[in-house]
Amino acid sequence: MTTDHTANAPAIIEARDLCKSYPATDGGAPAPVLRGVSLRVAPGEFVAVAGRSGSGKSTLLNVLASLTLPDSGTVLFDGQDITRVSEARRNRLRHSDFAVIFQAHHLMPYLTALENVLLPFMNGLAPVPAAMAEKGRRVLDRVGLSGKAGSLPGALSGGEQQRVAIARALVRDARVLFADEPTGSLDTATGEAIMELLAELGRDGLTTVMVTHNPDYARRAHRTLVMRDGLMVDSLD
């Protein structure tokens, strides 16, 4: 795993000098969480982000996925700085180009699996097109959830919930999948199955940025970036 083989390819995601701090809760000086992070992700790449707890991995992922803004620095998507675009453009990015999955709790608890998959298309008074609903069923089949389309998240196992979230990324043909410890709340076997699914999607060309603590899972990525104290360091400790 080297960083060289993508260095000259046009990046789909490129971050430059990202800095971010959260206001201190006790009224003291703001604690810097990202202290000048730069990275490049080429189209179709599967990148793992590792690092100690509290090193800023989730914050980095949120900034890249346009879920929060950095204090300084830029994030380029297809060459466009997405930290300086309109709110509407950021909404469109989150809707069509980026998909995020988290450790847990990312499904609407009172919508069925299929409705959760189709959630991005429910953003308006126009009904979800029948073709899209059909596609939603197909991606549920693809992630191995045929027959669970009508189930509420409460009736699904943790692994199945994670598959619904992945199906939600697939149904939109998202260009980049951001995953924050997607196996963190799953047992080893289930986590392994989810990792297998993500690796398969990666082989099909889905650009993926995944935060993980698990070195085995990190090894499945094309390369692993390591965070330490808000900085990108090259190798694992």
Ligand X SMILES: Nc1ncnc2c1ncn2[C@@H]1O[C@H](COP(=O)(O)OP(=O)(O)OP(=O)(O)O)[C@@H](O)[C@H]1O
**Binding of residue 19 to other proteins (CB under 8 A):** no
Question: Which of 77-83's residues contact partners 24+ apart within 8 Å by CB, and which partners?
Answer: 77/12, 77/13, 77/176, 78/12, 79/10
Among 124, 131, 204, 234, binds other proteins (CB under 8 A): 124
Stretch that binds ligand X, among 55-63, 83-91, 111-119, 163-171 (CB under 6 A): 55-63
Among 10, 30, 54, 127, binds ligand X (CB under 6 A): 54
58-97 footprint of other proteins as x/- string (CB under 8 A): ----x--x-xxx-----------------xx--xxxxxx-
**Binding of residue 135 to other proteins (CB under 8 A):** no
**In this complex, which beta carbon is closest to Mg ion, that of residue 70 or of residue 120?**
70
Residue type for position 45:
E
**Binding of residue 102 to other proteins (CB under 8 A):** yes
The distance from CA 177 to its chain's CA centroid, rounded to whole angstroms, is 4
- Give the CA radius of gyration of the chain: 18
In the chain, count H helices and then E strands: 7, 10
CA torsion angle 139 223 60 194 (round to 10):
30
CB of 69 to other proteins, least distance (A): 8
27: tokens are 């009224």
Residue whose C-beta lies closest to Mg ion: 58
123: tokens are 């953003």
The sign of the dihedral angle between the CA atoms of 122, 123, 125, 131 is negative
Query: What one-character DSSP code corresponds to residue 34?
Result: E
**Binding of residue 236 to ligand X (CB under 6 A):** no
Among 6, 55, 58, 212, binds Mg ion (CB under 5 A): 58
CB of 82 to other proteins, least distance (A): 13
Among 18, 39, 59, 112, binds ligand X (CB under 6 A): 59
**Residues contributing to the site for Mg ion (CB under 5 A):** 58
